[in-house]
């Protein structure tokens, strides 16, 4: 998936945006070429650890009907490792006289709020299902967004038996202090679930620019959720008819995470520390708790306009009731070609070497078919050439 929402650009009055990554990846015979993670939301440090190929591209057009009123349509197909899907497909209206700054929409729309790029995960993200809503309504002290969703998608990938419904309320651009903004996302889920209950969720994030020093941005996330409400603002565990996955239990979960992102001359990067806990709600493992921890970062140093060194290191742990702790550590070095020297500049072509190792408990938990520890392996070296870009 894309690391963050790309900015649309006009091409002959049409909008075109997207994301792509791919390349050639090598690993020992019978082992995955990427995806070395204990399974937590913030535990896949991605540099030299993806091993996949895919592209998603959005096309659309906005029509100006005069007097400030506009309407538009957007469509985004995607293909990842040979699997085709619809990422987005929605229409919008804006410039209405009673709310000129707001946008009204319906369909399947991504509403991605904020991610942590180095682990490829949006900690706040309430889109992706079919629904309708509004964004950008000016309250004076904040912007208001509201969305109402079903459990379906345009590809009809959902467990129909749950009759899941979701409401999200998003308050953004709350000026909390000099250089600081607060965002609040509330989630309410209802339905007829086989395992677990309906649920609620609440997420708060605070972004601080020039944190301690100029050029350093700090973000703190505080999140909690229950039942079939996900921590990020989406559904939790609905299942998917198209892939054959069954409905999963609900969760009683919480997360606290902090990131810093910087660019100072040729030196840029991002770092993360996160703790997440989840207790299963429903099913045969009702009450079983899992606790995940992540600590790591990526640094970028440009030696010229078109060459930079990338280094990423991460350590993660998982503790499940009644089981020995699992640990996984990962390090990647990647000389990189780029069109600009900054950390966020894309495209990048990376020539990477990754070393990962894990303990026997992690090996036992990931030794099944397709697991990274088949045969009792406790370490691996990956190499590859990858290009990543967005537009």
Give the tens place of pLDDT for each residue, 40-71. Answer: 999 999 999 999 999 999 999 999 999 999 99
Helix (H, G, I), strand (E, B) or coil at 20: strand
Looking at residue 226, its pLDDT comes to: 98
**Predicted local distance difference test score (pLDDT) of residue 5:** 41
Q: Which among 98, 114, 175 has a CA at the least distance from the CA of 140? A: 175
> 162: pLDDT confidence band, cut at 50, 70 and 90?
confident
pLDDT at residue 194, as a whole number: 84
Q: How sure is the predictor about 7, in pLDDT bands with cuts at 50, 70 and 90?
A: very low
Indicate if the pLDDT at residue 296 is higher than 80.
yes
DSSP annotation string for 220-259: EEEEEE-TTB-TTSSBSS--BTTTTBPPPPEEEEEEEEEE
pLDDT band at 9 (very low <50, low <70, confident <90, very high): very low
> Residues 72-90: what's their mean pLDDT?
97
Q: By three-state DSSP, how is residue 81 classified?
A: coil
What is the spatial distance between Cα 268 and Cα 344, in angstroms, rounded to a whole number?
Answer: 8
Residue 326 CB neighbours (<10 A): 22
Q: What is the DSSP string of 299-352?
A: EEEEEETTEEEEEEEEEEEEEETTS--EEEEEEEEEEEEESSSSTT-S-EEEEE
Across 149-153, 174-178, 333-337, least confident range: 149-153
Under the phi-then-psi rule, with left for phi > 0, alpha for psi from -120 to 50, and beta for the rest, what region is 102?
beta
Query: Is 90's pLDDT higher than 70?
Result: yes
Task: Say whether pLDDT at 166 is over 50.
Answer: yes
Q: Is the pLDDT of residue 242 over 70?
A: no
Q: Assign 375 a pLDDT band (cuts: 50, 70, 90).
A: confident
Identify the weakest region by mean pLDDT among 110-119, 155-164, 173-182, 282-291. Answer: 155-164
Q: Output the average pLDDT for the chain.
A: 93
According to the model, what pLDDT value does residue 195 have? 85
Mean pLDDT, to the nearest integer, of 308-322? 98
**pLDDT of the residue at 238:** 85
* pLDDT at 247 (0 to 100): 79
> Residue 156 — very low, low, confident or very high, per pLDDT cuts 50/70/90?
confident
Q: Is the pLDDT of residue 281 over 90?
A: yes
Whether pLDDT at 268 is above 50 = yes
Output the CA–CA distances (angstroms, integers) from residue 125 to 36, 169, 171, 221, in the order listed.
Answer: 24, 12, 13, 13
| Neighbour-count burial of 173, counting CB atoms closer than 10 A to its CB (0-12 exposed, 13-18 middle, 19+ buried) | middle
| 27, two tokens | 């690993």
C-beta neighbour count of 246 within 10 angstroms:
12
pLDDT tens per residue, range 175-187: 999 999 999 999 9
Give the per-residue pLDDT at 244.
57
Q: Which residue has the tokens 């079919």?
A: 130
pLDDT of residue 8: 47
Name the band, by pLDDT with cuts 50, 70 and 90, for residue 246: confident
Confidence band, pLDDT 50/70/90 cuts, at residue 243: low
pLDDT for residue 161: 62
Q: What is the pLDDT of residue 240?
A: 63
Is 119 a residue whose pLDDT tops 90? yes
Higher pLDDT among residues 195 and 104, named by residue: 104
pLDDT tens-digit map of 344-368: 999 999 999 999 999 999 999 999 8
Collapsing DSSP states into helix, strand and coil, what is residue 68? coil
């Amino acid at each position: 998936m894309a690391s963050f929402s790309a900015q649309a650009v006009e091409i002959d009055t049409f909008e075109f945006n997207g994301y792509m990554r791919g390349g050639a990846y090598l690993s020992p015979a019978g082992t995955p070429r990427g995806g070395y993670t204990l399974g937590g939301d913030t535990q896949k440090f991605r540099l030299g650890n993806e091993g996949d190929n895919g592209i998603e591209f959005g096309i659309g057009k906005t029509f100006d009907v005069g007097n400030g009123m506009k309407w538009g349509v957007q469509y985004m197909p995607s293909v990842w490792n040979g699997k085709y899907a619809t990422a987005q497909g929605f229409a919008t209206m804006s410039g209405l006289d009673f709310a000129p700054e707001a946008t009204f929409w319906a369909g399947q729309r991504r509403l991605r709020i904020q991610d942590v790029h180095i682990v490829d995960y949006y900690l706040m993200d309430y889109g992706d299902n079919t629904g309708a809503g509004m964004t950008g309504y000016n309250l004076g002290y904040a912007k208001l967004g509201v969305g109402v969703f079903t459990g379906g998608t345009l590809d009809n990938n959902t467990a129909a038996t749950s009759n899941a419904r979701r409401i999200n309320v998003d308050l953004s651009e709350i000026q909390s202090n000099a250089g600081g903004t607060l965002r609040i996302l509330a989630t309410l889920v209802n339905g007829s679930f086989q395992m677990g209950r309906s649920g609620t969720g609440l997420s708060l994030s605070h972004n601080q620019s020039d944190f301690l020093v100029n050029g350093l941005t700090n973000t703190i996330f505080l999140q909690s959720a229950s039942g079939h409400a996900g921590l990020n603002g989406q559904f939790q565990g609905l299942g998917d008819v198209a892939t054959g996955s069954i409905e999963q239990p609900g969760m009683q979960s919480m997360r606290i995470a902090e990131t810093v992102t910087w660019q100072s001359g040729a030196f840029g990067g991002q770092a993360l520390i996160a703790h997440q806990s989840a207790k299963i709600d429903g099913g045969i493992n009702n009450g079983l708790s899992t606790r995940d921890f992540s600590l790591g970062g990526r640094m970028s140093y440009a030696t010229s306009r078109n060459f930079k060194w990338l280094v990423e290191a991460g350590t993660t742990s998982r503790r499940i009731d009644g089981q020995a702790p699992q640990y996984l550590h990962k390090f990647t070095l990647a000389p990189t070609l780029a069109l600009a020297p900054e950390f966020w500049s894309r495209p990048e072509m990376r020539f990477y070497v990754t070393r990962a190792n894990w303990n026997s408990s992690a090996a036992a938990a990931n030794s099944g078919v397709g697991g990274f520890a088949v045969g009792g392996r406790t370490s691996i070296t990956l190499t590859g050439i990858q290009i990543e870009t967005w537009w």
